[in-house]
């Protein structure tokens, strides 16, 4: 089968078991991945019941990062639902259930105990703080660990259609505080919270302690915009695949953020 992003992240984690950053990157990839969760029966409204397997370590739901891998495991037609990994973690957390990933069908097979699932859900629920401040100085970014820049690049690559680009700069504020700012250009209306949270997650999963990056949203008529664009490290966000996909995607259980599935 084709190697997946989760395969690569799992291999990096397995090759460096003492490397916290590699382990965090695997959990981030798991949260961002689309998972195919095996069910007891077809979904009813927004309620889905995962198929549970009782192992020595306790009960586990099972999920796969492709339909082909789920089919190879099941060897039959089975009910399933496609959900973001973060939704699976959030809905299973607190139920005493772990998650088995790609069991028996891929090198990235992994048993995630209930405690780790709860930790991941709690980490993903962390929200960035809101503050009002305007930079008085702007310069090219300097001194940021490479792990942070790489984490931002990977995270932003998965945010197709939410903004045109993001610009990373070093900034100074009135009062003497200095830091870094990621300014989004052409953000889609209503996407600001999701973009800010994505940046927060990139920092958390980069493995850099006490990291902080401010987030702002540029407008074409703001004089600060041209100053930032001239000196920034630019990240271009991908275009959405199609308007049709955007409209139809929320129809499956769990894909509409306003109507999360109920895993029971």
- Residue 101 domain-assigned? yes
Among 214, 210, 202, 209, residue whose Cα is nearest residue 150? 202
Kindly state whether residues 169 and 81 are assigned to the same domain.
no
Share of the chain above pLDDT 70, in %: 89
Which residue range is the domain that position 25 belongs to?
5-125
- Residue 259 domain-assigned? no
What is the C-alpha separation between 243 and 88, in angstroms, rounded?
A: 26
Q: Per residue in 231-252, pLDDT tens?
A: 999 999 998 865 433 333 333 4
- Residue 254 domain-assigned? no
Q: How many domains does the chain have?
A: 2
Q: What is the mean pLDDT of the chain?
A: 87
Other Cβ atoms less than 10 A from the Cβ of 183: the count is 25
Model pTM greater than 0.85? no
Q: Per residue in 6-49, pLDDT tens?
A: 999 999 999 999 988 899 999 999 999 999 999 999 887 778 89
> Does the pLDDT of residue 190 top 90, yes or no?
yes
Kindly state whether residues 107 and 207 are assigned to the same domain.
no
> Cα separations (Å) of 167 from 72, 182, 191?
43, 5, 17
- The answer to whether residues 36 and 70 touch, using CB atoms and an 8 Å cutoff, is yes
- Residue 113 domain-assigned? yes
What confidence tier does 209 reach under pLDDT thresholds 50, 70, 90?
low
> Does the pLDDT of residue 258 top 90, yes or no?
no
Kindly state whether residues 152 and 103 are assigned to the same domain.
no
> Does the pLDDT of residue 180 top 90, yes or no?
yes
Please name the residue ranges forming H helices in the chain: 5-15, 20-32, 67-74, 85-92, 114-124, 146-156, 192-206, 223-231, 243-248
Kindly state whether residues 23 and 97 are assigned to the same domain.
yes
> Does the pLDDT of residue 212 top 60, yes or no?
yes
Kindly state whether residues 49 and 86 are assigned to the same domain.
yes
What confidence tier does 133 reach under pLDDT thresholds 50, 70, 90?
confident
């Amino acid at each position: 089968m084709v190697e997946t992003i989760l395969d690569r992240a799992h291999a990096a984690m397995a090759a460096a078991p003492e490397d916290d950053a590699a382990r965090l990157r695997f959990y981030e990839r798991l949260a961002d991945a689309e998972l195919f969760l095996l069910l007891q029966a077809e979904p009813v409204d927004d309620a889905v019941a995962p198929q549970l397997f009782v192992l020595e370590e306790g009960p586990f739901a099972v999920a796969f990062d492709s339909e082909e891998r789920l089919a190879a495991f099941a060897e039959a037609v089975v009910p399933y639902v496609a959900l973001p990994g973060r939704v699976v973690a959030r809905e299973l957390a607190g139920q005493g259930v772990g998650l088995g990933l790609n069991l028996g069908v891929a090198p990235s097979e992994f048993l995630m105990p209930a405690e780790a699932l709860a930790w991941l859900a709690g980490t993903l629920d962390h929200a960035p703080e809101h503050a009002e401040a305007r930079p008085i100085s702007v310069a090219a970014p300097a001194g940021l660990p490479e792990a942070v820049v790489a984490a931002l690049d990977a995270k932003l690559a998965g945010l197709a259609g939410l903004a045109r680009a993001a610009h990373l700069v070093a900034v100074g504020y009135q009062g003497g505080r200095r830091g870094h700012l990621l300014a989004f250009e052409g953000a889609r209306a209503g996407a600001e919270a999701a973009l800010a949270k994505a940046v927060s997650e990139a920092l958390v999963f980069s493995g850099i302690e006490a990291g902080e990056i401010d987030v702002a949203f540029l407008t074409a008529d703001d004089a600060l915009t041209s100053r930032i664009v001239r000196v920034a490290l630019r990240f271009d966000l991908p275009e959405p695949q199609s308007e049709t996909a955007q409209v139809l995607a929320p129809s499956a259980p769990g894909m509409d953020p306003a109507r999360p599935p109920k895993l029971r």
